[in-house]
């Protein structure tokens, strides 16, 4: 039987949010409105695939990643990781996945080694193996040995994000969830992380679910891309097929950004500005 790396079937997620127009009084709680984060999402990711999810802020990308990470429960539908249901068999799922998110969340006063050792123990890795492996990964990502024992709070955003990437890879997940892993990184660090993602996929047979704002990154790394907008998938294809869908403009080749604008009716910048408002 062919088991897909990830199966998402008819998944819907709604969040209650306080209605700011309905004032709260001493005796009455503020009314809540429902915000639909994901509307009936369906997708399948194959083993060893790098699958990209493109979309502006608030489009539902991070909600999707959190649902697969077992950090959120779907209101409707099913999510399976290598055949295991995230809601009914979360421990089996947790052993197979890891996640790198845009906010490099760490114990800020701990060193990278202390933070990574905490993660390694949580995943049941033997301390000696974990120590060797974390040093290898951090060195491979371009972190210097002398920073390994310094508090994270003294490190730059880019360096912290590299430690976050190292934490994600440390446990050798077979499904790696990368939620905007290169946001805020300088071009050189971005290249390091992207090269490492490619290497991990080829050497460890890992499947990657990647969300990003970076069109070029998606184009370069992903086998297939889903464009998601307002909780719905508006297109799902290989990068080249997506670009073929949109006729070239002004004689220049179609870019992923052209695809995004054509399919969502707005530019990435507009979509993000709307979200801020």
Cβ–Cβ < 8 Å for 106, 152: yes
Give me the least distance between CB of 100 and another protein, in Å please: 10
- Judged by CB, which is closer to another protein: 122, or 245? 122
DSSP of 4-68, one letter per residue? PSEEEEEEEEEEEEE-TTS---SSSPPPEEEEEEEEEEEEEE-TT-EEEEE--TTSSHHHHHHHH
- Judged by CB, which is closer to another protein: 94, or 201? 94
Cβ–Cβ < 8 Å for 260, 254: no
Give me the least distance between CB of 94 and another protein, in Å please: 4
Tokens standing for residue 215: 């069109």
- Judged by CB, which is closer to another protein: 96, or 234? 96
- Judged by CB, which is closer to another protein: 13, or 224? 13
Give me the least distance between CB of 66 and another protein, in Å please: 8
Give me the least distance between CB of 109 and another protein, in Å please: 4
Give me the least distance between CB of 155 and another protein, in Å please: 15
CB atoms within 10 A of CB 174: 17
Cβ–Cβ < 8 Å for 162, 100: no
Tokens standing for residue 147: 């920073």
Q: Which residues bind another protein (CB under 8 A)?
A: 15-16, 66, 69-73, 75, 91, 94-95, 97-99, 101, 103, 105-110, 114, 117-119, 121-126, 151, 167
Is the Cα dihedral 128, 133, 136, 139 positive or negative? negative
- Judged by CB, which is closer to another protein: 101, or 264? 101
């Amino acid at each position: 039987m062919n088991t897909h790396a990830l199966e998402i079937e008819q998944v819907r997620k709604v969040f209650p949010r306080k209605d700011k127009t309905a004032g709260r009084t001493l005796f009455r709680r503020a009314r809540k409105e429902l915000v639909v984060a994901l509307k009936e999402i369906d997708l399948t990711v194959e083993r060893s695939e790098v699958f990209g999810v493109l979309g502006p802020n608030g489009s539902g990308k991070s909600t999707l990643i959190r649902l697969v990470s077992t950090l959120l429960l779907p209101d409707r539908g099913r999510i399976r990781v290598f055949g295991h249901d995230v809601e009914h068999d979360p421990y089996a799922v947790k052993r197979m996945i890891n996640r790198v998110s845009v906010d490099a969340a760490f114990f800020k006063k701990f060193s990278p080694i202390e933070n990574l050792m905490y993660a390694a123990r949580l995943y049941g890795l033997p301390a000696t193996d974990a120590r060797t492996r974390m040093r290898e990964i951090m060195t491979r990502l371009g972190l210097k040995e002398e920073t390994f024992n310094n508090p994270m709070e003294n490190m730059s955003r880019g360096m912290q994000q590299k430690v976050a990437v190292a934490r994600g890879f440390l446990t050798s997940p077979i499904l790696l969830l990368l939620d905007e892993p290169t946001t805020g990184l300088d071009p050189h660090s971005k290249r390091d992380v992207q090269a490492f993602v490619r290497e991990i996929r080829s050497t460890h047979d890992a499947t990657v679910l990647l969300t990003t704002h970076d069109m070029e990154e998606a184009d370069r790394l992903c086998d297939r891309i889903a464009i998601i907008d307002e909780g719905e998938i508006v297109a799902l294809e290989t990068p080249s097929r997506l670009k073929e869908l949109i006729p070239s403009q002004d004689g220049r080749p179609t870019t992923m950004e052209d695809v995004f604008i054509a399919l969502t009716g707005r530019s990435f910048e507009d979509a993000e500005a709307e979200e801020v408002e």
